A and B are shown apart, each in its own frame.
Chain A
Amino acid sequence: MTAPAARRRLSPRAKAALGIFARYATIVGLVAMIVAFSLVSPRAFPTLNNFTNVLNQASLTMIIAAGLTLAVIVGELDLSIGFAASLHGILVTGLIVSNQLPIPVAVAIVLVAGAVIGLINGLIVTKIKVNSVIATLGVGTILTGLAFAYSAGVPIVSGVPEDFLQLSLGRWLFGIPNNILIMVVVLGGLWTLVERTAIGQEIQAVGGNPSAARLAGIDTDRIKILGFVISGVCAALTGILLASRLGSGTASAADGYLLTAFAAVFLGSATLRDGEFHVLGTLIGALIIAFGFNGLNIFGAPTFSQYVLQGAILIVAVGLSSLGRSISES
C-alpha cells in the first residue's frame, strides 16, 4: 500500500483540463504549425505540390512507424527496424541487380525476410526472455553487419532497373504517388487489424494488462511474436521503398528511420487517447514530424537544427505520452 499523501492529487477540473490538453495538444500543434508556416511562407509552403511532397516523403516513416506501433502496443520495443530496413534495401537491390530476380519475386523474398527477422526478435523476447530493448538492439547490430557483408561495404548503385524505381516514384492510380497509396493501404490494414478484428482485441488486451490477458486465456507469447513480425514486415517494406526511391542499396541508408519512427509512435500515443499507442495516432505523429522538417528546409535552417529538433521531439513525445498515461491512471 502506498501512502496516499505521496501521490500527487489533482482537482477533477485540473485533471480534465490536463487530459484534454494532452489528448489534443499534438493535433493543435500540427494545425498551428501548418498555419504558421503558411503565413510566413505563403508562396512555398501551402501548395498542393508541397503537401503532396511532404506526404510522399513521410509515407516511408509512416509505414515503419505503424509497424513499430504494433510492437509497442503489445508492450515491447523494436530497435532493430532502422537497421533491418537498411539491410532490406541492399538485399532487394542485390537480388534484382546481382541475382537477376524478377522484381515481384525479389520484393516478396525481402518481405518474408522481414517477417523472419520479426519472428526471431519475438522468439528471443518471449521464449528466452531477453528484454526487448537488448534483444532488438543486438539483432539490429547483427543485421548491420550482414548488410555490410552482403554489399561488401559498397553501395549497389548501377544496374538498378527503371521498373524498380517506378515502385516508389510512379503514380499508378489517379496521379497519386505510389508511396502514398502503399502507405494508405498498409496503415488502413493495420488500423483495421488492431481496432476491428478479434486478434486486434487480443493485441490490445496483451498491451493493456499482460497478466490479465494471459489469465483470460490469451496466448500472450503468440500475440507478442505477431507484433514483432508485423514490425519486421513494415521495416522490410520501408527498406524496399527507400531503395526504390534512392535507386540504390546502401548499408546504413535507413538507420535514421529508427528515431523518427519512435518519435512518431510516442507523439501518436499522446494523441486522442491517454498515452495508448494506436495506428491513427502514429499517422498524426509522423505528419507533425514531416511538416516540422519541411518547414525547416523551406526556411533553410542549418543541418544541426534538424538533429536538435529530432531529439527535442522525441523527448516531448515521450513526455506527453507518459503525462497522458498518468492522467488516465490517476
Chain B
Amino acid sequence: MVRSPAAPFLIAEGVAKAFGGAQALSDVSLAMAPGEVHGLVGANGAGKSTLIRILAGLVTPDRGRIRLDGEDITVSSPQHATALGMSFIHQELAFIPGMTVLQNIMLGVPKATRFGMIDWGRIAREVEPVARRVGITAPLSSNVKGLSTAENWLINICRALVRKARLIVMDEPTASLSASESRKLFAIVEDLARSGVAVLYVSHRLDEILRLCDRVTVFRDGRSVAGFARAELSHAGLVEAIVGGAVRRTTKPAEPPPQGVVALKVSNLARRPKVEGVSFDLHHGEVLGIGGLVGAGRSELARLIYGADAPDTGTMELDGAPYAPHRPADAVAAGLGLVPEERRADGLVLTKSVAFNLTIPNLAKIVHSPLLPLIDDRRRSALAEQTVRDLAIKTTGIEAPVGRLSGGNQQKVVIGRWLIRAPKVLILDEPTRGVDIGARGEIHRLIRDLAAEGVAVLVISSEPDEQPDLCDRVLVMVEGRIVRELKGAELTRQAIIEASYARAAAAEETPS
C-alpha cells in the first residue's frame, strides 16, 4: 500500500531525558506525516516508552525540541496532548466499568446539550458512523464490562477519532489479541491512514511492522539509530538495527555445560495466554536464564513455578518428586525462594528493619524452641548480623528500616533472606534492576557462589548483557513459548535479542 508522502506535521528532534542517573533517552528524533503508519521498534529499555510519555505530556524532556505544524511546543499534560490532537492507546486499557460504550467513548469530551441536559440521542447519532467505521459491532448502549480486549481497542480508537486526533499512538496493540482480531485491527489501522490520521505503531512483533508500516524508526540505548522507508524494510535489517551490528556468533570457547542432577523438571506448563506450554530441566549447580522481551511471559512463568498463580495445564517435579504448589507458602516449604521483580512492592516490608525482613521466612531458626515460639533476640541478631556481613549489606545496623537502604542493598536483603534457608531452587526476577554497577557485580558473584554450592538458580532479566555474563544456559521465550536454547559459545547478547524477535510462526513450530 504505497501512499503519497506528505510533509511531516510532528517532528521530534534531539530529545534527551535522564531519570536520576540513568539516561533513558540520549538523542532521539522522529517525524510523523499525516496518513502514515510509522513503526517504532527497539529492545527492552531502548527508550520507546519514554518518548511516548514525553509526547503524552507525562514526562518533560531535558533537551530537544518538538514541533507541531512548524511551531515549537511543550506538551504539559495529557489534557494538553489531547487538545493538540494526539491520542494514546496503551496495553492496559482503562475504562469505567458499568458505563456504556458510548459514555466511555465520550469520556472527557465536551458533549452536545439540549436545554442544559446532555443530548445522548444526538451524540449517539454522531458517534454511530465512527463506531461502525472502526468496526465496533456491540451496540453503543451496551455495558463495556463484558467486552473483549479487541473491542476495547476499537472503542479507544473510536474515542481518538471523536476527539479529532491527528496522531494515534498504539503501544503493543496485538499483545492480547488473537490472530483474527489482529487482522481486523490491521485493516482498521490501514483505513485510518487512508483517511489522513497518522499512526505511531509500537511493537516487538516485527512481522506486523513489516506488514503495516510505511516507515520505521529503530531505537537503541536511547538513540534513534536507523530509519527505514517501506521499500528498504526487511526482517534481518530490523533485527540488525535493534541488536546493533551484524548478528554473529562469537568464538568464545565453549565451557562444558554443567550437568548436575535435575532439581526442577517443568513439563508443558501453561497459563494462557501468557504462558503457552513450557518445558525445561533446571539442574543443581546451574544458573539458567530465561530471556526474551518484556511481556514474553517470563515473570508469569516464574509465578507458576512459585505457586503464586495456578497453571491451566502441566506438571512439575522437584528432585524427582511431584511438585504442585497451591500457594507460595507451599513453594517455600518445598525449598524454593523468589526474589521478585518489584522488590519494594513485592519483596520487602519497607517500614520494618533489615533484621525483620531477613528473618521473615526463617522464623523457625530464631525462636527458643518449637514448643516455646518466642523470638530469641540473640539468635535473631546473630543470624541477621551474619547475613549482613556475608553479603556486605551496607546499613547503619540490623534495626535500620530497610526502606532507607539503597536499591542494591535492599536487593541483597531479599536475596539474603533465602540464602539463610539454603534453598534448592532460587528464582531471581530482574536481580539487578535499579542497582548500581558495584552492587550489580556483587549480586552476580553471590548468584554464582550459590550455584557453586549446588543451588539451582533461575534468572529472568531484561538487561541485554546480564544473562551472557551470568548464566550457563539461556532459554529465550517469545509469546509464552521457549523458542531457543543458548549455551556455551552461542550465548551472546546478540543471540538473545535475535531469538527474542523470532517470528511468532517459528514459536508455534517449536515443540513444547
Decide if A and B are genuine partners: yes
> A328: which B residues are within 8 A, CB to CB?
351
Known: A198-B364, A201-B360. A214 touches B308 (CB 8 A): yes
- A217 with B328, Cβ < 8 A, contacts A198-B364, A208-B349, A276-B351 known: yes
Segment of B267-275, B329-337, B466-474 in the binding face: B329-337
Whole-angstrom CA separation of A200 from B345 in the bound complex: 21
Least CB distance from B417 to A in Å reads 7
- Which B residues are CB-close (under 8 A) to A198? 363-364, 366-367, 373, 375
Q: Is A125 on the interface with B (CB-CB < 8 A)?
A: no
A interface residues, how many (CB within 8 angstroms): 27
Whether B375 pairs with A205 at a CB distance below 8 angstroms is no
Report the separation of the CA atoms of residues A276 and B356 in the bound assembly, to the nearest whole angstrom.
Answer: 15
A6 to chain B, nearest CB (A): 11
Q: Report chain B residues within 8 Å CB of A47.
A: none
Which residues of the partner chain A approach B349 to less than 8 Å between Cβ atoms?
204-205, 208-209, 212-213
**For B58, what are the chain A residues with a Cβ–Cβ distance below 8 Å?**
1, 3
- The count of chain B contact residues (Cβ–Cβ below 8 Å) is 32
Contact partners of A213 in chain B: CB under 8 A? 349, 360
**Residue B197 CB within 8 A of the other chain:** no
Q: Give the chain B neighbours of A197 by CB distance below 8 A.
A: 367, 373-375
Asked whether, in the complex, the Cβ of A217 is within 8 Å of the Cβ of B331, the reply is yes
Decide: A196 and B375 in contact? CB cutoff 8 A: yes
Give the nearest-CB partner of A217 in chain B. Answer: B332
B338 at interface by CB-CB < 8 Å: yes
Interface presence of B350 (CB below 8 A): yes
- Enumerate chain A residues within 8 angstroms of B348, measured Cβ to Cβ: 209, 212
Contact of B361 with A217 in the complex, beta carbons under 8 Å: yes
Total A-B contacts with CB atoms under 8 angstroms apart: 84
B135 close to chain A: CB less than 8 A: no
Give chain A interface residues in 187-222, CB to chain B under 8 Å.
Answer: 192, 196-202, 204-205, 208-209, 211-219
**A255 at the A/B interface (Cβ < 8 Å)?**
no
Q: Is the CB of B346 within 8 A of A202?
A: no
- Which chain A residue shows the least CB distance to B306? A215
Smallest CB–CB gap between A199 and chain B, Å?
7
Cα separation A200 to B380 with both chains bound (whole Å): 14
- A 146-189 binary contact with B (CB < 8 Å = 1; else 0): 00000000000000000000000000000000000000000000
A274 near B: Cβ within 8 Å?
Answer: yes
Given A201-B356, A201-B360, A201-B363: A217 in contact with B333 (beta carbons within 8 A): yes
> Given that A208-B349, A215-B328, A276-B351 are known contacts, is A202 also in contact with B375, CB under 8 Å in the complex?
no
B359 at the interface (CB under 8 A from A): yes
| Structural contact, B360 and A218, CB atoms closer than 8 A | yes
A219 and B327 within 8 A (CB): yes
Q: Does B352 make an interface contact (CB < 8 A)?
A: yes
- On chain A, the residues within 8 Å of B373 by CB distance are 197-199
- What per-residue 1/0 map shows which CB atoms of A56-97 lie under 8 Å from chain B? 000000000000000000000000000000000000000000
Q: Which chain B positions have C-beta within 8 A of A274?
A: 351
Q: Which residue of B lies closest to A276 (CB)?
A: B351
State the CA gap A217–B362 with chains docked (Å): 10
Q: Does B488 contact A (CB under 8 A)?
A: no
| Partner among A1, A192, A202, A208 whose Cβ is within 8 Å of the Cβ of B351 | A208
Which partner residue on chain B sits nearest A214 by CB separation? B328
Contacts of A205 in B (CB 8 A): 349, 352, 356, 360
Cβ–Cβ contact B417 & A216, under 8 A: yes
Q: How far is the CB of B137 from chain A (nearest CB, A)?
A: 33
Q: Which residues B58-108 have CB closer than 8 A to chain A? A: 58-59
Taking CB atoms, residues of chain A closer than 8 Å to B332 are: 216-217
**What is the bound-complex CA distance between A259 and B366, given in angstroms?**
38
Cβ–Cβ contact A196 & B374, under 8 A: yes
**B340 at the A interface (CB under 8 A):** yes
Q: From B308, B329, B346, B347, give the contact of A218 (CB < 8 A).
A: B329
Q: CB-CB < 8 A to A218: which residues of B?
A: 329, 360-361
If A201-B360, A204-B352 touch, whether A214 touches B367 (CB-CB below 8 Å) is no
Tell me the interface secondary structure of chain A in the complex.
Answer: helix
- CB neighbours of A215 from chain B (8 A): 306, 308, 328, 338, 340, 346-347
Most chain B beta carbons < 10 A, residue from A212, A217, A276 = A217
Chain B contacts of A202 at CB under 8 A? 360, 363
A127 CB to nearest B CB, Å = 13
Q: How far is the CA of A217 from the CA of B331 in the complex (A)?
A: 7
Please indicate the chain B residues that have their CB under 8 angstroms from the CB of A214 in the complex.
308, 327-329
Over the window 254-285 of chain A, the binary record of Cβ atoms lying under 8 Å from chain B Cβ atoms (1 yes, 0 no) is: 00000000000000000000101000000000
With A213-B349, A217-B332 as given contacts, are A201 and B359 in contact (CB-CB < 8 Å)? yes
Q: Which of B59, B360, B374 has the most CB of A within 10 A?
A: B360
Residue of A nearest to B364 (CB): A198
Contacts of B364 in A (CB 8 A): 198
Interface centre among B327, B331, B347, B349 (most CB of A within 10 A): B349
**Cα(A111)–Cα(B59), bound, Å:** 58
Chain A residue contacts of B306, Cβ below 8 A = 215
Which single residue of chain A is at the shortest CB-CB distance from B366? A198
- Give min CB distance, B61 to chain A, whole Å: 14
Contacts of A199 in B (CB 8 A): 373
A307 to chain B, nearest CB (A): 35
A181 to chain B, nearest CB (A): 23
A204→B351 CA distance, assembly (Å): 11
CA distance A200 to B327 in the complex (A): 21
In the complex, residue of chain A having the shortest beta-carbon distance to the beta carbon of B363: A198
With A199-B373, A204-B352, A209-B350 in contact, is A216–B361 under 8 Å at CB? yes
For B346, B359, B364, B417, which residue has the most chain A Cβ atoms within 10 angstroms?
B346
Q: Which residues of A contact B367 (CB under 8 A)?
A: 197-198
Q: Which of chain A's residues has its CB closest to B336's CB?
A: A217
- A162 CB to nearest chain B CB (Å): 40
Please report which residues of chain B, range 298-352, place their CB below 8 angstroms from some CB of chain A when the two chains form the complex.
Answer: 306, 308, 327-329, 331-333, 338, 340, 345-352
Once bound together, how far apart are the Cα atoms of A197 and B328, in whole Å? 22
Using CB atoms, name the residue of chain A closest to B348. Answer: A212
Q: Which residues from chain B contact A209 at a C-beta distance below 8 Å?
A: 345-346, 348-350
Bound Cα distance from A215 to B299, whole angstroms = 13
- How far is A328 from B417 in the complex, measured between Cα atoms in Å? 24
Scoring B331, B351, B417 by chain A CB atoms within 10 A of each residue's CB, the highest score goes to: B351
Q: B333 contacts which chain A residues (CB < 8 A)? A: 217
Q: How far is the CA of A95 from the CA of B312 in the complex (A)?
A: 52
6 contacts between A and B (CB under 8 A): A199-B373, A209-B349, A215-B346, A217-B328, A217-B333, A218-B361
Q: Told that A1-B59, A198-B364 touch, could you supply 19 new A-B pairs with CB distance under 8 A?
A: A3-B58, A196-B374, A198-B367, A200-B375, A201-B363, A204-B349, A205-B349, A205-B352, A205-B360, A209-B350, A211-B345, A214-B329, A215-B306, A215-B340, A216-B417, A217-B331, A217-B361, A218-B361, A328-B351
| B contact residues vs A (CB 8 Å cutoff) | 58-59, 306, 308, 327-329, 331-333, 338, 340, 345-352, 356, 359-361, 363-364, 366-367, 373-375, 417
- Please give me the 6 A-B residue pairs with the lowest Cβ-Cβ distance, nearest first: A217-B332, A208-B349, A198-B363, A209-B349, A219-B329, A198-B373
